[in-house]
Structure 1
């Protein structure tokens, strides 16, 4: 699964030709969660409220890039890296 961003120990990935709704996978210290593009957790748990807050902040800043990557992934094209949270 391609890594699209990494910040503060959080790894963000997106699969190619994934199922709807649009989403991405986040991992922090071995814990995993799936988020939609509004920052809602669809399943899983990152085990840290701070990590979840950081992911949600990142989503708010990068939703357009996430949507672009989702379209690329759905058509089997190369997914672009997205800037991390500073």
Structure 2
């Protein structure tokens, strides 16, 4: 699973040919959340409150890039790196 971004100890990853709806995985320490790109809601798992807030803030800034990466993954192409949260 490629890591497309890393910031404040949080890794953002996407799987190739993953199931719908479009989503990404956010990992922080032992915690993992699967987050829907369209709604930015947690579909599965969870993160500490502050880490989740950072992930949502980042995803709001990069939603179109996340969707582009989702489409790349669906056709088994390498997703592009996305800038970290500043």
Q: TM (normalized to structure 2)? A: 0.95
Count of matched residue positions in the alignment of Structure 1 and Structure 2: 85
- Structure 1: any 5+ residue segments left out of the alignment? none
Deviation at 1:70, TM superposition (A): 0.3
Q: Which residue of 1 aligns with 2:44?
A: 43
Q: Which residue of 1 aligns with 2:77?
A: 77
Q: Which residue of 2 aligns with 1:3?
A: 3
- Structure 2: any 5+ residue segments left out of the alignment? none
Mapping for residues 13-52 of structure 1, pairs under 5 Å? 13-37=13-37, 38-46=39-47, 48-52=48-52
Cα distance in 1 between the residues matched to 2:13 and 2:77: 15
Deviation at 1:75, TM superposition (A): 0.5
Cα distance in 2 between the residues matched to 1:77 and 1:50: 32
SS of equivalent residue, structure 1 residue 24? strand
Cα distance in 2 between the residues matched to 1:74 and 1:52: 25
- Cα-Cα RMSD: 0.7
